[in-house]
Amino acid sequence: MGAGFSELPAGTTVGGAVRAVRAALADATEGALAEARLLVGHVAGLDLTGLVVGAEREIAAADLATLSELVRRRLAGEPVQRLIGEAWFFGRRFRLSAETLIPRPDTEVLVDAVLARLEGVANPVVADIGVGSGAILVSLLAERGDMIGVGVDVSADALATARANAQALGVGTRATWVRGSWVEPLGGGRFAAIVSNPPYIASAEIAGLDAEVRLFDPPAALDGGADGLAAYRALAATMAERLEPGGLVALEIGFDQGAAVVRLLAEAGFMAIDVLPDLAGRDRVVIAHGGGCAE
């Protein structure tokens, strides 16, 4: 379907481009108008207000060719966030790269939960394992001006992206970025909280994922091993020794993994374990505390 999209003609205005792209996407994606505005705004360098105010402005021929190619790629299944290289999370714009996941609204549940549970903790130091674009850690730092963060990832590309997002959003001076696997790069540090959105898809299930995820998200950020729990085993076995007494753990999980992850954490000695739902009411975040918790 994407290959058949016609080039937008010379003289196409901003408003005309939005209408044409919306019509092209209408049968292929929900939210066609929103996506059309994102694509046209990206190419024309306009925000939502600019799209309205500049609706009669003609788009340069080279930009029309770029826009037409982006529409064809979108019709072929590529997520609009990949096409424009950025996504919104917790009210902020995050740049993406090839080795970072697109941050999704359900993950905001984790950020909200950590902020609520650290409300009475002064100057907390937080570690994010598998930091990706930095969406979780940077959001936490942006919401808490007294917080310091450490982001860990095996990918140099992801760390560079997270660092750039932290700088762009004004929290770069309060973040440190370390390359490595799981909590090992944290050394002997102790943290008020450790957070993670690790890979949690069972290896055999990846082939059945929606094309937008299967073809365009980084495989290493999806593959959770044979049963999808490999990351949680590694984290459960090592996080407690990196926490302050009673420190917090917050992990994103697959919708059917709540009981299994609760069991792993309980066996590792964590306490006050709770499972929080996402926006659709499905299990999405497991919260727990290390030893010394007063709850």
Q: Where are the beta strands (DSSP E) in the chain?
A: 86-89, 92-95, 125-129, 148-153, 175-179, 191-196, 243-252, 271-277, 283-289
Coil, helix or strand at residue 30: coil
Note whether residue 143 is domain-resident: yes
Note whether residue 124 is domain-resident: yes
Q: How far apart are CA 57 and CA 214, in angstroms?
A: 38
Q: What is the pLDDT of residue 4?
A: 56
* Contact (CB, 8 A) for 128 and 196: yes
Q: Are residues 109 and 230 in the same domain?
A: yes
- What phi-psi label fits residue 228: left (phi over 0), alpha (psi between -120 and 50 degrees) or beta? left
* Contact (CB, 8 A) for 103 and 158: no
| pLDDT per residue as tens digits for the range 178-230 | 999 999 999 988 999 999 999 999 999 999 999 999 999 999 999 999 999 99
Q: Are residues 113 and 237 in the same domain?
A: yes
Tally of CA atoms within 13 A in the half-sphere of 246 that contains its CB: 9
Q: What is the pLDDT of residue 3?
A: 47
* Residues 236-242, mean pLDDT to the nearest whole number: 96
Q: What is the pLDDT of residue 27?
A: 83
Task: With CA atoms as reference, report the closest residue to 67 among 118, 136, 108, 6.
Answer: 6
Cα 225-231-235 angle, rounded to 5 deg: 155
Residue 37 has pLDDT above 50, yes or no: yes
Q: What is the pLDDT of residue 292?
A: 61
Place of tokens 């505005």: 37
Q: How far is CA 211 from CA 24, 75, 168, 217, 280, in A?
A: 19, 12, 31, 9, 21
Tally of CA atoms within 13 A in the half-sphere of 188 that contains its CB: 0
Domain, as residue range, for 176: 86-289
Angle between helices 135-143 and 156-168 (to 10 degrees): 30
The one-letter amino acid code at 288 reads A
Please identify, among 84, 108, 143, the residue that sits at the C-terminal boundary of a domain.
84
How big is the chain, counted in residues? 295
Q: Are residues 161 and 34 in the same domain?
A: no
Q: Are residues 264 and 197 in the same domain?
A: yes
The domain spanning residue 112 has which CATH number? 3.40.50.150
Please identify, among 60, 84, 108, the residue that sits at the C-terminal boundary of a domain.
84
Q: Are residues 197 and 236 in the same domain?
A: yes
Q: Are residues 126 and 183 in the same domain?
A: yes
Q: Are residues 151 and 90 in the same domain?
A: yes
Q: How far is CA 147 from CA 50, 104, 229, 272, 293, in A?
A: 35, 23, 30, 23, 21
pLDDT band for position 29 (50/70/90)?
A: confident
Please provide the average confidence, as pLDDT, over all residues in the chain.
Answer: 95
Note whether residue 294 is domain-resident: no
Q: Are residues 64 and 159 in the same domain?
A: no
